[in-house]
Structure 1
Amino acid sequence: MHAFTVLEWKGLHTVQTWGPFHQQLHEAIYHVTEAHIHDCWRVISWTENLIDLRQKKLEDLYKLATEIVNQLSSSSTVEWMDLQPEDEHDEILWQAILWNRDALHYVHLNEGIRNGDVRIMEQTLPYLLFHFAGGKNLKYTIEILELLQCLHWEWPPDVKDFVKHRGWLMNLTGCPNGFFPIDRGQEHNIRDIKVTHQVQGPNVSWDLMKCISPAIPTLVQVWSSHTDPAKKKDIEKLKGVYHTSEIHVQKDGWCARVKADHVEDIVSLGAAHLFSWKTMQQWWEH
């Protein structure tokens, strides 16, 4: 929420199921995460300018990246911080690590989808299960449980292969990074036909729609071939805030100022309480 305020992004403080909310939130997550990771590189490498990292060897960069994941983006670090005395607990750093962990999972899954890697999608299912369980999203939790049951116990290999490679993703471009979920493809088709490139004017007819429809994919590619000039500016602004605030540096006793700034680790909550709730029983009875 703080990042949205800093960048003056409007309409993202409340979840919406219509309009451009999802796309704007997706871009916001990427911008904020990139700024977070840039600051993590600065902290872990003890350098004020990331350009200096160009002088390091590949094995050194790999080691630093591993430290970022282990120290500033992992559940193990979150759990370790939870065990510290209250006067040594840094809630701001805890929240930053929590964001890094969850956002990197989101980016990893999204990039896996974009590149058609169904293996990444399948490997992410347990994490999504804990996320939905911790967020008390019962219907999604049951859906994931049902899918895991089918993938690991019920479906034969040929059915599993068909579902994963023919039922999860689609690609209308033929490009290696042109995949997206089938349901999103349906939504895009409906939007493009009925809204973006709708048939208008006095000569509207089914025949005219039939003539225009084959050209819609080309029109979409032409309209979408642009870059976001605000992205770099947003990231630089956030990096400055994170650097000044030192959110990735331990400060004993640092707490959120207002109640609204407190967050919960819903993934850990989901993992810990999944079997204590009635979720498993309801799924089994279902």
Structure 2
Amino acid sequence: MHSDKHWSGPKAQKPGQEPSAGSFRGDCVLANSILRLRDSLWHYEFIYAVADGDIGRAMQVMSVWQFTFTGSGASKYSTELLSLACSFLYEFPESLRTLIKNNWLCNFSGLPGCWFPMDLMQEHHIRELKNKSQRRDQDFEGRFFQKVISRNTRWLTQIRSTINREVTLEDRSTSHGRAKRPATLNRLQASLKGEEVHAFSPGRSFGWLARDDLITGQKAMPAKVSAFLRRTLESGYDWAEATELGNEMQPEDLGIDPADGTEEDIDVPLPPMVVDGELFVGEALDQSTFDESFDVAHSEPLLDLE
């Protein structure tokens, strides 16, 4: 059974913007699944690249996300990536581009597969500093805090984890729902197999066709770039103000249904790791696992890693 409706979150897409499910003669269910798998593969390629310390691969994915964020109505992320792209292409000298790329990721352990973004490292350190500043006799302005604690945040965290482990008092896990994941995956696999989602069935449809954010973003990009250039090239230009205006640009200004553009604040995740070729994402780790590679790096020689 075909439908003239086309998926765009809670609301139907405006007629004429994209081919409707009714005009699609293939398998809508399989097409939706393939689109989801494609977007997921981009995501996994990015986190693999970060964990491997390959900033070039990560930037390649970011160049694709520039369009998918625009197409999904995520204006804040889209504006940030557009600003970054313009800076790399037209403003930053070669020396600055190299400096940024060489310092985008960091690896405390020196072990393969344990790279993570520098800004994520800063977020974790800020959290640790906030925890240590709760004492009434300590504050960020104090000399001891500035000269000792702030410069050794990572080591102090590692010492705490090491002591807890040696006395068999492990750090409390910050991971939730990990034990339920295998059961959830099993139910999902059974459902996909039972519905034969990945077997081609001409004319099959559940009543909606997923929107391709990449194609939608490509169509909306000229308007996005024009608005960005108009703000940045006008006299009395203020970068911070222009960026804020770009973040406030409404999805409907680009011809995009705002229903899909909701952006929520999330907690700072732990970085992904690649261990023996297997990727562990942040939600599958806890802080003690995150610290373990740091312990190994300083208890075993790394000279023979090559």
When normalised by structure 1's length, the TM-score is: 0.58
For residues 109 and 211 of structure 2, the distance between their equivalents in structure 1, rounded to whole angstroms, comes to: 40
Superposed CA offset, 1:209-242 (max 9, x none): 9499542134468646999444433322221111
Is 1:284 equivalent to 2:229 in the alignment? Answer: yes
Is 1:270 equivalent to 2:217 in the alignment? Answer: yes
SS in structure 1 at match of 2:66: helix
Instruction: Tell me which residue corresponds to 2:62.
Output: 125
SS in structure 2 at match of 1:129: helix
Q: How does 1:6-21 map to 2 (within 5 A)?
A: none
For residues 87 and 98 of structure 1, the distance between their equivalents in structure 2, rounded to whole angstroms, comes to: 15
Superposed CA offset, 1:42-90 (max 9, x none): xxxxxxxxxxxxxxxxxxxxxxxxxxxxxxxxxxxxxxxx799837332
For residues 229 and 136 of structure 1, the distance between their equivalents in structure 2, rounded to whole angstroms, comes to: 34
Preserved CA contact (<8 Å) 1:170 1:182? yes
Is 1:183 equivalent to 2:106 in the alignment? Answer: no
Q: How does 1:78-117 map to 2 (within 5 A)?
A: 86=23, 88-117=25-54
Preserved CA contact (<8 Å) 1:169 1:182? yes
**Change in 2 beyond 3 A, CA 1:103/1:162:** same
Identity %: 22
**Change in 2 beyond 3 A, CA 1:93/1:154:** same
Match of 1:217 among 152, 158, 177: 158
SS in structure 2 at match of 1:174: coil
For residues 150 and 87 of structure 1, the distance between their equivalents in structure 2, rounded to whole angstroms, comes to: 41
Unaligned runs of 5+ in 1: 1-12, 14-81
Preserved CA contact (<8 Å) 1:87 1:252? no
Which deviates more, 101-110 or 82-91? 82-91
Is 1:136 equivalent to 2:136 in the alignment? Answer: no
Amino acid in structure 2 at the alignment position of 1:144 = L
Preserved CA contact (<8 Å) 2:50 2:116? yes
For residues 225 and 133 of structure 2, the distance between their equivalents in structure 1, rounded to whole angstroms, comes to: 49
Amino acid in structure 1 at the alignment position of 2:97 = K
Preserved CA contact (<8 Å) 2:21 2:209? no
SS in structure 2 at match of 1:254: coil
Asked which structure has the greater CA Rg, the reply is 2
Match of 2:203 among 228, 250, 253: 253
Superposed CA offset, 1:164-213 (max 9, x none): 111x2222332222222222222222223435xx577xx76436994995
Query: Considering only aligned residues, what root-mean-square deviation do their CA atoms show, in Å?
Result: 3.6
**Change in 2 beyond 3 A, CA 1:120/1:233:** same
1:251 shift after superposition:
1.8
SS in structure 2 at match of 1:274: helix
For residues 64 and 46 of structure 2, the distance between their equivalents in structure 1, rounded to whole angstroms, comes to: 11
For residues 263 and 192 of structure 1, the distance between their equivalents in structure 2, rounded to whole angstroms, comes to: 42
Query: Which structure carries more relative contact order (alpha carbon 8 Å, separation 6+)?
Result: 2
Amino acid in structure 1 at the alignment position of 2:127 = R
When normalised by structure 2's length, the TM-score is: 0.54
Superposed CA offset, 1:145-169 (max 9, x none): 2222232333232211101111x22
Instruction: Tell me which residue corresponds to 2:301.
Output: none
